[in-house]
Amino acid sequence: MSAATRPFDLPADLVEDFEDAHPLDILRWAGEKFGDRLVVTASFGDATLVHLVSQAIPSAEIVMLDTGYLFAETKWYAEELRQRFNLKLRVVEPPADAQPNQWQTDTDGCCAARKVAPLAEVLEGRTAWVTGLRRADSASRADAPIVHFDPFRNVTKINPMATWSDDDVAHYAAMELLPEHPLTQRGYASIGCWPCTRPVEAGEDARAGRWSGSGKTECGLHSSPGSTLGGVAEPGP
Ligand code: SF4
């Protein structure tokens, strides 16, 4: 582990304060602490995270991992939001050697090649990673911390919206007049790649439409063995 990313203790009172903090305040803290060593990844399933980032850390780079299988509507929507909120958007293409149509036989391998590996490259040289992960997303995310050191990726991971409910997100979107993803009205509550996403029925979990019927619930971006709560990576030079 390099000195630039050595974890140090995050004060307990700060961790506690973040539980009641607005995501904008958490993002402002992150922006001041990590500066241009921070990067944001967004799925562009909705506009909430990128709007928050545009208000709190307008200079932050926002990465969209283009797996090659994103809905055309998602790419259109990301460009709309880039223009509307003046986002510093970077679209990362899948590796040239990614196997075509691997999702048909090996979704874990496909996600590893088209999401997890590109993320590792995005995080090279960074000390902080901001995501839109929320505890309300699914049972497997119910204990997601707001800030923690991810030793697997060697960065401080910041989930500023971790405590927000679906109603909180809807309220923020209504107050800020945020545009919806074009597929939301067609029942897509959580939007990933087109081969692995279906609309959900009333009463289903938002993520029930992802890898439906396969038992798979996560792509691997948020899986990290040995995550350490309460530590952050030093900003570095
Ligand atoms: S969600 Fe599906 S298409 Fe997208 S990277 Fe994973 S397996 Fe491949």
Please work out, in degrees rounded to the nearest 5, the angle formed at the alpha carbon of residue 47 by the alpha carbons of 175 and 179.
65
Question: Is ligand 1 within 6 A of the CB of residue 107?
Answer: yes
In DSSP terms, 65 is beta-bridged to 92
Residue type, 157: K
Q: Considering the chain, what is the average pLDDT of its residues?
A: 90
Non-local (6+) Cβ contacts of 209 within 8 A are: 188, 189, 190, 197, 198, 199, 200
Q: Is the pLDDT of residue 13 over 80?
A: no
- CB-CB contact of 192 with 210 (8 Å): yes
Question: What is the whole-number distance in angstroms between the Cα of residue 109 and the centre of ligand 1?
Answer: 9
**Residue 228 CB-half CA count within 13 A:** 17
Q: pLDDT digit string (tens) for 76-126?
A: 999 999 999 999 999 999 999 999 999 999 999 999 999 999 999 999 999
Kindly report the protein residue whose alpha carbon is nearest to atom 7 of ligand 1. 107
Question: What is the whole-number distance in angstroms between the Cα of residue 110 and the centre of ligand 1?
Answer: 6
Q: pLDDT digit string (tens) for 138-188?
A: 888 899 999 988 888 999 999 999 999 999 999 999 999 999 999 999 999
Active-site residues, by number, are 219
The number of the ligand 1 atom at minimal distance from the alpha carbon of 193 is 4
Question: Is ligand 1 within 6 A of the CB of residue 82?
Answer: no
pLDDT of residue 39: 98
Ligand 1 pocket test target in 75, 105, 106, 110 with most atoms within 8 Å of CB: 110
- CB-CB contact of 182 with 76 (8 Å): yes
Ligand 1 pocket test target in 103, 104, 214 with most atoms within 8 Å of CB: 103
pTM above 0.95, yes or no: no
Q: Residue 10's pLDDT band (boundaries 50, 70, 90)?
A: low
Question: What is the whole-number distance in angstroms between the Cα of residue 106 and the centre of ligand 1?
Answer: 9
Tell the residue number behind the tokens 């995550």, with chain if given: 227
Tell the residue number behind the tokens 């029930």, with chain if given: 208
Question: Is ligand 1 within 6 A of the CB of residue 221?
Answer: no
Helix H or strand E segment including 50? helix 48-56
